[in-house]
Amino acid sequence: IISKMKLLFILFVFGIATAVQVGISDDITVGGLSSGAFMAVQTHVALSETVKGAAVFAGGPYFCAMADFATANTNCMALGTNIDIDHLISVIKDNEAKGLVDSSENLAGSNVYVFSGTKDYTVNPKVNQNTQAFYEKLGANVESLFDFDAAHTMPTEDFGAICTVSMPPYIGKCGLNGAQVSLQHLHQDKVSNKLGETSASNVFSIPQSTDETVMGGEAFAYIPTACQSDDADCSLHVVFHGCLQTIKDIQMQYVESTGYNEVAEANDMIILYPQAVSKSSGNPYGCWDWWGFINNDYATNQGKQIAEVKRLIDLLKSGDLKEAKQVYPRETLKE
């Protein structure tokens, strides 16, 4: 975690168990960039009894790819055309009848934030416009931003690459705190304009299942000190990174430098960062499964990744993180 005033040199030791008690409310939302945005939408739909809203940075509507890689690359990324919203909603209804997703009635009135940069040539802005239309048809309260000069990137105030160029780490120095703006809409009347000062000691790792999930061995969570008590009443936001943003690709930059943790500190909010991994066959870029590279249940509560995310949420809701590990047990600051 990098302070604006100081360069933080961290001496860290992984693997030290640090059991921590947490307290979270039912105020739970999800968000993500690119494949993480598609993952956020399908998690929101599948788990709408638990998840109350979604922030979608460069991502499409539920089941946009229809379990087909070619459709994912064309309709849902390059073109943004031939996306049949009525059909996608009918899929939700069918899945709901089978108990594979929560009631779609939960989506009515939910808060949704949709962002697409004008220079995004990876996910066509028309895709995001379909996302807005999809959610509005379901009765959600949607706020969107489509006229911002940005490439395919997670917009931050002052960290990352050139905002108008899509390049690693796909985090852009845009003069826009996308984390804060989106969370202010998702958690209305709860997220202020203030930002807190983060602490490396509040970054924890939590074991993830790797059993057919194409996920890494650990998720990460930023848990403000105020939330490290079983009688705390903190909100929870689950953030999904995009393709080529895994720990292997960009180390801890998505966890530590996208702006979410500063919002969390100032507003008593826990941020959970599940982690996907690359796989040579089917997922070489470490994307989330939004087209069916694991199996065709990917967009339901039976999907391997959605089920694991639900387990992580339930673990946090239980309040007792016995297997959590403090990522940076010791730290030194140097001017």
Q: Which of the residues are catalytic? A: 34, 120, 152
Instruction: With beta carbons less than 8 A apart as the criterion, state whether 132 and 60 touch.
Output: no
List helix spans (H) across the chain.
35-46, 69-73, 85-97, 125-137, 178-186, 247-250, 253-256, 260-267, 304-318
Backbone φ and ψ of 70, nearest 5°: -65, -40
What is the 8-class DSSP label of residue 235?
E
Closest CA to 90 of 129, 45, 132, 55: 45
Residue 125, preceding bond cis, omega within 30 degrees?
Answer: no
DSSP run (H or E) holding 239: strand 234-240
Q: How many CB atoms lie within 10 A of CB 81?
A: 12
- Residue 140 makes CB contacts below 8 A (sequence gap 6+) with 107, 108, 109, 110, 111, 112
Closest CA to 156 of 240, 256, 248, 247: 256
Q: Which residues of 242-270 are buried (b: 16+ CB within 10 A; e: fewer)?
A: bbbbbbebbeebbbbbbbbbbbbbbbbbb
